[in-house]
Structure 1
Amino acid sequence: MDILGIVGILLGILTIILFIIKKFSIIVAAPIATIVVLLFSGVPILETLFGQENSYMTALAGFIAANFAIFLLGSILAKYMDKSGATISIADKVLSVVGTKNPYNALVALFIISAILTYGGINVFVVIFAIIPMAKPLFRKLNISWKLVVIPVFGGTSTFTMTMLPGAPSLHNIVPSTALGTTLTAAPLIGIVTSIVAIVFILVFMKLSLNKSLKKNETFNVDEKVESSAVISERKLPSFIISLLPILVLLGIILLFSSVNNIIIVALIVAIVLSAILFRKQIAEQREVLNQGATESLSSTITTGSTIAFGSIATSVPAFKGVFQAIQSIPGPPVLSLMIGTGLIGGITASAVGAIGISVANFAPIYLDMGLDPETVHRAITIGSGALSIVPYSGFLIIFNNLTGLTMKDTFAKGFISISVTHWIAMAVVVIMTLLGIA
């Protein structure tokens, strides 16, 4: 085993985490951490960073090319929803239904909305672009800690709807289906049982966290600089139906035309055009909304792409082959080492989808040869991918913090429990079901 190379991978991860803690941009931290990995790996540094094939830059460029349109359009739609006051109108309606006496009901409502949107096939980044402006007035009116928003949003978007529930049209479910020849409903019993367990855990964790926050007398308390972006003038808010219409149209187009290529982009464009028409009375200067959305989307895209590029290089160096071998020797049923291995890749790449892609190409054939059923391999890989996908350099977490105005200290612990610990529990359920022969 290439011990020096493995040390390099670990030092690279520590480097990127240290830079994030010191509040350096991930755009700066990721290439520096990549250089650290390469220094210990015995591969050409400049070529691996700037080469025309399989380099840091090609990985970054590939991600931007594939995802920039979604980030751009999602950011603009979020700006329309925010600046028009549509999010406040929606929040008012939610409060009128769930009431203000029990803040937990509002958190559960936000959790359900996030889960429905994600399970409906909407890209997770699009969901948080839309849901955060919607959640802020809700929390403000309830006067509960804004830090709690992590739990319902992360729990709703990035756990059971992403990796466990059968039938999800997400990339997390599509990638292994394509590679293994399985259906999107692969291993339905495992998927349903782990989903139920995950939902129960998240709801309990959310309740305990809310009670703890209320006992400490924590309130909304958002920094004025961040809060100012959500301040709406005295002009009349759009009605609830009008406010919700762009989101309903977005979801409807995606669900009805799910087989059409790039349907998410088409749906976002339609939703933006509809917003421009419906909210013209609330937004006098639409050019400003477009400019702000476009500017913020650029940073979000490069931020996420940088983490993906770092992970792609860290998992391509020769030393990582030794890590693969070590993972396969983990004691216990084969499905356990498969999930742990996929989870480890997710931690290095800071991407659950990236982990799934690497795992189905490198791990799946080995475990199929061991006799594991393709459907079990499919569901085990998807569930395992979420085990360590939330790390300090995760693009999803960084963008979430930028959108909410919260810090890594505010969000990481709750985010880690909401996503990673939930997946650990699901992994334990999979192992138990496998041992009992009911998977």
Structure 2
Amino acid sequence: MEIIQVIGIVIAIMLIIYGAMKGFSILIVAPIASIIVIVTNQMELFSSLIGKESSYMTGLTGFIINFFAVFLLGAILAQYIDKSGAAQSIAQKILEKTGTEKPFPVLVALLMITAILTYGGVSLFVVIFVLIPLAKPLFKQLNIAWNLVTIPIQVGLGTFTMTMLPATPSIQNVVPTAYLGTTLTAAPMLGIIGAVVAIAFGLWYMRFTLNKSLANGETFADFNVKDSNEELKKEIPSFIVSIIPIVLLIAVIIVGSALKVPNIIVIGLATAVIVSAILFKKYIPSQKTVINEGASGSIMPVFFTSSAVAFGVVITIAPGFKYISDFILNIPGNPLISLSVASALFGGITGSASGALGIVMEAFGQSYLAMGLSPDVIHRVSAVASSVITLMPHNGAVLTFLALTGLTHQNGFKYQFIAVTGANLLALIAVIIAAIIIY
């Protein structure tokens, strides 16, 4: 009977991956996969799905209750930064400083722009929408392979600004705080060490692939990319004005975290939104439209992530999960290794680092605390590990990126997977070693 229970969980996980890769919404796939777990583990159907204790619905609603404000305010802030032209202003200033005459400085500039915007709380999807129209004419002018654009942007939004840098307002940095009582600046030295390693690898890999591409004679025309129909805004705020909400957000988070202020991410995002509404008023035709679009845009991301977490809750209450849990917790070596394995595996399974963290914190958080590990270390290590193999073919950021760039999995996935996975894996190794030494 035990083997059937475990097989049921494995089949459900495979269904999640297959369904996502085939384009089915996780809102549909996750409940079906949960039913497979429930049936094969001989659990009571309705109490496991809609019960008031531990169930699919309590996992779904619990995540939304804890993090909806973050998704909502973050989406509204992203709309202000995008619609006002602030993101375009920041991008143009950095490109002005790095120059656009040589390929490598352009790649570095794209990495810097992406990092600044995502560290400032701008949604990764908004960043992609902003940067692709800026990058396309530059790549055409320099006549370099269009698929190289995947490296700087994905490294900038999927590595050090997502899980490593202290005070980053990403949801991946917020989720562990709800379970561990930590702050957004948890284990700052570990985060900085990981960020340095990730940036170093990203820069090396960009240089390596660029040189290889040039040596192979690859050009922009090889990818049959259609010209973008999007026009850049003509009237945009200055660089200084554009950067103020971002700097303010990070400053509020750092100070608030140091003072142990509860819900500082919500306070910081709300402050940044209010300041953006004031500073960007003349550049936005309708504030109501920006707020409404931001609010609407927050709904699907929070439900996608909470659905992954809800599926994880069903797995964790299934009798068969005990065997999986025992296997993970008994992995030889330092407990940080098994914590990393669990976070990375669920990140790959769900295609969502934040969803993986919700599952891992729910299932294993207290176990690792009971082992005597520092909450700050658990926070930082699990966050970094959750993104190691998240950039799978069914990941939402990958699908969006390919759609906007006109690339395919065949010509556009390899570089971004190696870049992000390599950066996150090397950073994780460095963080674990540093954690063992420091803590």
Instruction: Calculate the TM-score normalised by the size of structure 1.
Output: 0.77
> Compared with structure 1, are the counterparts of its residues 289 and 308 closer, same or farther at alpha carbon in structure 2 (3 Å cutoff)?
same
After TM superposition, give the deviation of residue 97 of structure 1 in Å: 0.7
In the alignment, the residues of structure 2 paired with residue 202 and residue 110 of structure 1 have an alpha-carbon distance, to the nearest angstrom, of 12
After TM superposition, give the deviation of residue 206 of structure 1 in Å: 2.7
Name the counterpart of 1:274: 278
> Compared with structure 1, are the counterparts of its residues 142 and 392 closer, same or farther at alpha carbon in structure 2 (3 Å cutoff)?
same
Letter in 2 for 1:309: A
In the alignment, the residues of structure 2 paired with residue 255 and residue 97 of structure 1 have an alpha-carbon distance, to the nearest angstrom, of 28
Pairing 1:246-285 to 2, within 5 Å after superposition: 246-258=245-257, 259=261, 261=263, 262-280=266-284, 283=285, 285=286
In the alignment, the residues of structure 1 paired with residue 369 and residue 360 of structure 2 have an alpha-carbon distance, to the nearest angstrom, of 13
Q: Once the two structures are superposed, what CA deviation does each residue of 1:138-167 show, in whole Å capped at 9, x if it has no partner?
A: 313313667555533443344345545567
Name the counterpart of 1:128: 124
CA contact (8 A) 1:146 1:221 kept: no
In the alignment, the residues of structure 2 paired with residue 77 and residue 398 of structure 1 have an alpha-carbon distance, to the nearest angstrom, of 23
Residue ranges of structure 1 left out of the alignment (5+ in a row): none
> Compared with structure 1, are the counterparts of its residues 212 and 296 closer, same or farther at alpha carbon in structure 2 (3 Å cutoff)?
farther
Which one of the candidate residues 361, 365, 373 is aligned to 1:357? 361
Name the counterpart of 1:424: 425
In the alignment, the residues of structure 2 paired with residue 298 and residue 181 of structure 1 have an alpha-carbon distance, to the nearest angstrom, of 26
In the alignment, the residues of structure 1 paired with residue 86 and residue 167 of structure 2 have an alpha-carbon distance, to the nearest angstrom, of 31
In the alignment, the residues of structure 2 paired with residue 312 and residue 173 of structure 1 have an alpha-carbon distance, to the nearest angstrom, of 19
Pairing 1:219-368 to 2, within 5 Å after superposition: 227-228=228-229, 230-232=230-232, 235-258=234-257, 259=261, 261=263, 262-280=266-284, 283=285, 285-348=286-349, 350=352, 351-354=355-358, 357-358=361-362, 361-365=365-369, 367-368=371-372
CA contact (8 A) 1:9 1:37 kept: yes
> Compared with structure 1, are the counterparts of its residues 163 and 90 closer, same or farther at alpha carbon in structure 2 (3 Å cutoff)?
closer
In the alignment, the residues of structure 1 paired with residue 407 and residue 134 of structure 2 have an alpha-carbon distance, to the nearest angstrom, of 16
After TM superposition, give the deviation of residue 376 of structure 1 in Å: 6.2
> Compared with structure 1, are the counterparts of its residues 255 and 27 closer, same or farther at alpha carbon in structure 2 (3 Å cutoff)?
same
Structure 1 position 216 matched with structure 2 position 218: yes
The aligned length equals 423
> Compared with structure 1, are the counterparts of its residues 150 and 271 closer, same or farther at alpha carbon in structure 2 (3 Å cutoff)?
farther
Sequence identity (%) = 39
Letter in 2 for 1:270: I
Structure 1 position 141 matched with structure 2 position 110: no
Secondary structure (helix, strand or coil) at the match of 1:208 reads: helix
Pairing 1:9-20 to 2, within 5 Å after superposition: 9-20=9-20
Q: Once the two structures are superposed, what CA deviation does each residue of 1:349-393 show, in whole Å capped at 9, x if it has no partner?
A: 53353255246534415644xxx7887666544443333444455
Secondary structure (helix, strand or coil) at the match of 2:101 reads: coil
Letter in 2 for 1:86: A
In the alignment, the residues of structure 2 paired with residue 89 and residue 343 of structure 1 have an alpha-carbon distance, to the nearest angstrom, of 36
After TM superposition, give the deviation of residue 396 of structure 1 in Å: 6.0
Letter in 2 for 1:142: L
In the alignment, the residues of structure 2 paired with residue 263 and residue 78 of structure 1 have an alpha-carbon distance, to the nearest angstrom, of 16
Q: Once the two structures are superposed, what CA deviation does each residue of 1:215-250 show, in whole Å capped at 9, x if it has no partner?
A: 4323697767xx55x4346x5344333444443444
> Compared with structure 1, are the counterparts of its residues 102 and 17 closer, same or farther at alpha carbon in structure 2 (3 Å cutoff)?
same
Letter in 2 for 1:320: F
In the alignment, the residues of structure 2 paired with residue 305 and residue 174 of structure 1 have an alpha-carbon distance, to the nearest angstrom, of 11
Letter in 1 for 2:307: S
Name the counterpart of 1:25: 25
Letter in 1 for 2:137: K
> Compared with structure 1, are the counterparts of its residues 352 and 77 closer, same or farther at alpha carbon in structure 2 (3 Å cutoff)?
same
Secondary structure (helix, strand or coil) at the match of 2:317 reads: coil
In the alignment, the residues of structure 2 paired with residue 67 and residue 402 of structure 1 have an alpha-carbon distance, to the nearest angstrom, of 28
Residue ranges of structure 2 left out of the alignment (5+ in a row): none
After TM superposition, give the deviation of residue 415 of structure 1 in Å: 4.7
Secondary structure (helix, strand or coil) at the match of 2:104 reads: helix
After TM superposition, give the deviation of residue 95 of structure 1 in Å: 1.6
> Compared with structure 1, are the counterparts of its residues 181 and 310 closer, same or farther at alpha carbon in structure 2 (3 Å cutoff)?
closer
Secondary structure (helix, strand or coil) at the match of 1:101 reads: coil
After TM superposition, give the deviation of residue 99 of structure 1 in Å: 0.7
Q: Once the two structures are superposed, what CA deviation does each residue of 1:152-203 show, in whole Å capped at 9, x if it has no partner?
A: 3443344345545567687648947984989956494x65554433222222
> Compared with structure 1, are the counterparts of its residues 423 and 248 closer, same or farther at alpha carbon in structure 2 (3 Å cutoff)?
closer
CA contact (8 A) 1:68 1:301 kept: yes
CA contact (8 A) 1:76 1:272 kept: no
Secondary structure (helix, strand or coil) at the match of 2:128 reads: helix
> Compared with structure 1, are the counterparts of its residues 238 and 311 closer, same or farther at alpha carbon in structure 2 (3 Å cutoff)?
same
> Compared with structure 1, are the counterparts of its residues 329 and 71 closer, same or farther at alpha carbon in structure 2 (3 Å cutoff)?
closer
Name the counterpart of 1:45: 45
After TM superposition, give the deviation of residue 133 of structure 1 in Å: 4.2
After TM superposition, give the deviation of residue 52 of structure 1 in Å: 2.4
In the alignment, the residues of structure 2 paired with residue 255 and residue 187 of structure 1 have an alpha-carbon distance, to the nearest angstrom, of 11
In the alignment, the residues of structure 1 paired with residue 394 and residue 154 of structure 2 have an alpha-carbon distance, to the nearest angstrom, of 16
In the alignment, the residues of structure 2 paired with residue 105 and residue 197 of structure 1 have an alpha-carbon distance, to the nearest angstrom, of 20
- Stretch moving more, 160-169 or 65-74: 160-169
> Compared with structure 1, are the counterparts of its residues 426 and 355 closer, same or farther at alpha carbon in structure 2 (3 Å cutoff)?
farther
In the alignment, the residues of structure 1 paired with residue 419 and residue 306 of structure 2 have an alpha-carbon distance, to the nearest angstrom, of 23
